[in-house]
């Protein structure tokens, strides 16, 4: 899996016909970074809950 969303495409020095596409790529990368961060936060939260709970939890 390729999950490097740190790439930023320079819009200011891009040819006119590529500015919209580069801005779109930057927007997509930003959205993926936010989603990835939220998923990681949720995973860590659930892991902490499982550490703190001493009884079994059944999930479906």
The DSSP call for residue 60 is -
pLDDT given for residue 22 in this prediction: 97
Higher pLDDT, 5 or 60: 5
Q: Classify residue 12 as exposed, middle or buried by CB count within 10 Å of its CB (0-12, 13-18, 19+).
A: exposed
* pLDDT tens figures, 3-52: 778 889 999 999 999 999 999 999 999 999 999 999 999 999 999 988 88
Angle at 42 between CA 59 and CA 39, to 5 degrees: 110
SS (H, E, C) 1-59: CCCCCCCCCCCCCCCHHHHHHHHHHHHHHHHHHHHHHHHHHHHHHHHHHHHHCCCCCCC
pLDDT given for residue 50 in this prediction: 83
pLDDT given for residue 10 in this prediction: 96
- Whether the model clears a pTM of 0.85, i.e. scores above it, the answer is no
pLDDT given for residue 57 in this prediction: 67
């Amino acid at each position: 899996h390729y999950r490097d969303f740190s790439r930023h495409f320079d819009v200011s020095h891009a040819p006119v016909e590529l500015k919209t596409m580069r801005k779109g790529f930057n927007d997509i990368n930003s959205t993926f970074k936010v989603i990835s961060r939220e998923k990681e936060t949720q995973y860590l939260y659930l892991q902490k809950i499982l550490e703190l709970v001493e009884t079994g939890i059944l999930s479906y």
